[in-house]
Amino acid sequence: MEQQRVTKESLWQAALEAREFAYTPYSNYKVGAALLTASGKVYSGCNIENAAYGPGNCAERTAIFKAVSEGEREFVALALATENGGTPCGICRQVIREFSNVMTIYVGNMQGILREYLISELLLDGFGPENLETN
């Protein structure tokens, strides 16, 4: 998708499509994410569970890690599609915050977008790279 054609609805639709690839044999809670980068590219991700639980990965982090592994570092928006409009977990909020304190997050269920947040609203007083800067 080119940046000028990416709307919050088309980003959410990409998240909904990514949700179909979720590997969730234990929780059956499928999540899809779509990440819009400053360069206009969209990276999708789904959640991936594991029998040992800990090695699993959330959809948000899957999309972000895919983008970072392709050289992207600036993110504009993230759409999240779940059955009931769930928001990112704490670990995902921290990973999102690593790259932006102002990224928009669209949260939706199977019918569409329900809410819109800034990451700074979901992770109040979040810890970021600037907290490690020394003078």
What residues are annotated to the active site? Answer: 60
Cα pseudo-dihedral 59, 105, 70, 51, rounded to 10: -10
Give Cα separations from 25 to 22, 56, 110, 129 (angstroms). Answer: 9, 11, 20, 36
Q: How far apart are CA 69 and CA 105, in angstroms?
A: 21
Q: Which helix (H) or strand (E) holds 79?
A: strand 75-81
| Calpha distance 105→59 (Å, rounded) | 13
**Distance, CA of 98 to CA of 129 (rounded, Å):** 6
